[in-house]
Amino acid sequence: MAQSKGTVVLAYSGGLDTSCILVWLKEQGYDVVAYLANIGQKEDFEAARKKALALGAKKVYIEDVSREFVEQFIWPAVQANALYEDRYLLGTALARPCIARRLVEIAQHEGAQHVAHGATGKGNDQVRFELSCYALCPEIKVVAPWRMPEFYQRFPGRRELMDYAKKHGIPVPVTPQTPWSMDENLMHISYEAGILENPKNQAPPGLYTKTCDPANSPDAPDVLEIKFERGVPVKVTNTGDGATRSTALELFVYLNDIAGKHGVGRIDIVENRFVGMKSRGIYETPAGTILYHAHLDIEAFTMDREVRKIKQGLSLKFSELVYNGFWHSPECEFLRECIGRSQEPVVGTVRLSVFKGQVYILGRESPRSLYNEELVSMNVQGDYEPADATGFININSLRLKEYHRLQSKVTVKQDE
């Protein structure tokens, strides 16, 4: 038996990889405390607890962080209209700092000097986990087996992991593994690797689990009214059956159900990982997609144009920081404060339709609206003098006239 190296808190999923890592860490001399975050994934948590204890974990923490995930991580992303590279709603990137925060708290409570995770050495999650851990506890030491030669040379492929599992009594799934990897939380599920690594391959029909095929979705829409305060959804009402939800977690789960039923929230993209390579990912983000469209609409209705231009730039940087793992950085904290301040006037209700894979905005109202119906009307002059537009156009055309006058001179000289 290896010499004792102290206690390590392992971010445990209950799957084959982290189960093998748990046993391997014990072989290396660590006392292992397993931590499984309930962040909204479909999981038999009691079975996972028993499995970890049977494999030698000295203690198992199963922590329900779903509510704080919604209120402290998803809501700031909704306020920001956060999108990475114009398409990705950041479901995994938002979950990692939430999981890592509790991982560090457990390590401190247990007096452990080490934490460990099962993220691969090629992906973003290793960065997200570890930057969060180091930010929250600078003296912590991270054990990352998939970056350690003694681990990845011993387990170059899944077959070697399976053999190790059988040798050490680690339960091996009896059902065939899907030919891709999945990661699920309350906000989304991601699919990558395996047959999906060829970006030309279409996602097989049986891949999606959170949303139905839009072609087979109901032939009647669900019409929802979503109320916002300070850019955060506080109530959803289904105008069809009168159902309402007003607590953060219940509201989000309900929107997941409605969007999933109508096939809303699927994307298939190639993105740029922070570590420098492109990767292909397929994502389902049902509730997040509805809220993105709804918030975008109420924000445009209530926010000053120039403030919104600045806020859009902040949102772009915020999305990049979150994707790259810098949630717990001073710059990301600063951006969250700025974006939160911009949301004070973002109050009101958006009415929308969810139907056949799409979200359609139907209307909006707000006590903080900057929309002046009389001013914009084609039928009423209101407090606006059309003749003033002549000077406005003349001033704005001056730059264009001068630019093209100079270009004409340059062209003539070049032709001489």
**How does pLDDT run across 375-400, given as a tens digit for each residue?**
888 887 777 888 999 999 999 999 99
**pLDDT for the residue numbered 128:** 98
pLDDT cut 70: percent of the chain above it: 98
Digit-coded pLDDT (tens) for 282-303: 999 999 999 999 999 999 999 9
241 assigned to active site? no
140: Cα within 13 Å, side-chain hemisphere: 31
Confidence band, pLDDT 50/70/90 cuts, at residue 171? confident
pLDDT tens digit sequence for 328-348:
999 999 999 999 999 999 999
Pick the catalytic residue from 13, 19, 31, 125: 125
**Cα–Cα dist 294/41, whole Å:** 25
Q: Where are the domains of the chain?
A: 7-177, 182-303+345-365
169 Ramachandran zone, left/alpha/beta (phi>0; psi -120 to 50):
left
pLDDT at residue 410, as a whole number: 79
Structure confidence at residue 176 (pLDDT): 65
- Output the pTM of the full model: 0.94
CA distances from 341 to 326, 335, 345 (A): 20, 10, 9
Active site residue 219: no
Considering 17, 183, 222, 297, which one is annotated as catalytic? 17
Task: Read off the pLDDT band of 1 (50, 70, 90).
Answer: low
pLDDT, tens digit (0-9, with 9 covering 90-100), for 173-198:
655 677 888 999 999 999 998 899 99
pLDDT at 310 over 60: yes
Annotated catalytic residue 125: yes
Residues 184/99, Cβ–Cβ less than 8 Å: no
Q: At 172, is the pLDDT very low, low, confident or very high (cuts 50, 70, 90)?
A: confident
Give SS3 for 42: coil
Q: In terms of Cα–Cα distance, which of 269, 320, 322 is closest to 98?
A: 322
> In this structure, how many other beta carbons lie within 10 angstroms of the beta carbon of residue 356?
16
User: What CATH number has the domain spanning 182-303+345-365?
Assistant: 3.90.1260.10
* Residue 282 to residue 285: CA distance in whole angstroms: 10
Of the listed ranges 5-19, 59-73, 170-184, 235-249, the one predicted with least confidence: 170-184
Query: What pLDDT is recorded for position 413?
Result: 74
pLDDT at 276 over 60: yes
**Cα angle vertex 415, ends 412, 416, to 5°?**
90
Listed range (61-65, 202-206, 229-233) with the worst mean pLDDT: 202-206
pLDDT reading at 66 higher than 80: yes
Residue with structure tokens 């709804």? 294
Contact of 196 with 218, CB cutoff 8 Å: no
Q: What pLDDT sits at residue 179?
A: 80
pLDDT of residue 3: 78
- Residues of the chain with pLDDT > 90, as a percent, come to 87
Residue 354 has pLDDT above 60, yes or no: yes
**Whole-number average pLDDT of the chain:** 95
Q: CA nearest 271: which of 84, 48, 10?
A: 84
Respond yes or no: is residue 17 known to be catalytic: yes
Indicate which residue of 13, 66, 96, 351 is catalytic.
96
**Mean pLDDT to the nearest integer, 92-110:** 98
CATH entry 2.60.120.310 includes domain 7-177: no
Rg (CA), the chain: 26
Coarse DSSP helix, strand, coil percentages of the chain, rounded to the nearest 5 percent? 45, 20, 35
pLDDT band with cut points at 50, 70 and 90 for residue 251: very high
| Annotated catalytic residue within 181, 329, 353, 369 | 181
